Amino acid sequence: MKLEINNLVRHFGQVKAVDDISFSVNSGEVVGFVGPNGAGKTTTLRIIATLDEPDSGTVILDGVSIIDYPEKARHFIGYMPDAMPTHGDMTAHEYVDFYGRAFGLRGAALHEAVSEVEAFTGLEKIKDKTLKSLSKGMKQRVSLARALVHRPELLVMDEPANGLDPRARIELRELVTALAETGKSILISSHILAELGEMCDSVVIIEQGKLVGSGTIENLANSSVVTQRVTFRILSPAPPNLTPLILEIPGVSSAHVNGERCTVEITSGDAALADLLATLVQRNIRIVEFRPEQVGLEEVFMKITRGETA
């Protein structure tokens, strides 16, 4: 189920929280939604979840406007807000069951849906415990179960890993990956950029309400001239002219040679990598290790954004 955001605008008084944003999420795709605090991420996600309305623009889900038909759209959207589940005296099972009923499920269909989502999110052993007694990681699982109980095609997640310990974050990432493999469309915001980059197919970056970049991390890195570091090791000490030789290669910004180990920084992606390796081979420099460091979402984010807030 494809989600299409077109020219979305939302004001709060004189502040334009969302400023003409457009992007899309395809079926089975995990899209990271990132930006500084106050960039407009939560406002955008709330609009997509039908909890707020834009001043202009469209949000289309599977060809249907969720702005014009919010009640219909809600059956296809699962929303996991950044707030923890409330109603602390309810058990995890009662909480998920309640939201299943809120979406119109009854009888055998309700029982099947709740049991299915409790099994998927790992709640079976703690389903009879009250929400107030659960750890933050388990509360997030309950929140995810609530968002999934009506079997939505689009999952919208706002900072789901915030405050979780490392194990809980890893387990959450595994759940997101499993959901994408079932064909669900997933839009997820997070400040933990390294982990977000590992699970996303593409990212959307906003700042001061404006779209500043979208696409795969690799394409964004190439288009925004992100510096990439390459380390390599040669079989014998480097010849004295190796450093100036490397610096002549287009796209190389620096080179440091220390005995058999060399570190090079490049700013033009795969072309400079290929030229560097070809130059070393042509000069009969025997290479025993050649390791380009992966450019991640953190590097892309720092390059594209300016550190400004609305």
- Closest-CA residue to 21 (of 2, 48, 1): 48
Q: How far apart are CA 33 and CA 160, in angstroms?
A: 12
Q: How far apart are CA 116 and CA 110, in angstroms?
A: 10
**pLDDT surpasses 70 at 108:** yes
The fold of 227-294 is Alpha-Beta Plaits (3.30.70)
Domains 3-215 and 227-294 share a fold: no
Mean pLDDT of 218-232: 82
Residue 231 in 3-state DSSP? strand
Average pLDDT, the chain: 92
CB contact set of 303 (below 8 Å; sequence gap of 6+): 224, 225, 226
CB 273 within 8 A of CB 197: no
Q: How far apart are CA 231 and CA 257, in angstroms?
A: 10
User: What does the pLDDT look like over 155-195, one tens digit per residue?
Assistant: 999 999 888 888 988 998 999 999 999 999 999 999 889 88
pTM: 0.84
**At 221, which helix (H) or strand (E)?**
helix 217-223
> Using 50, 70 and 90 to split pLDDT, how confident is the model at 99?
very high
User: What does the pLDDT look like over 122-144, one tens digit per residue?
Assistant: 999 999 999 999 999 999 999 99
In words, the CATH class of domain 3-215 is: alpha beta
Residue 98 in 3-state DSSP? helix
**pLDDT surpasses 70 at 218:** yes
Domain layout of the chain by residue ranges: 3-215, 227-294
Percentage of the chain modeled with pLDDT above 70: 98
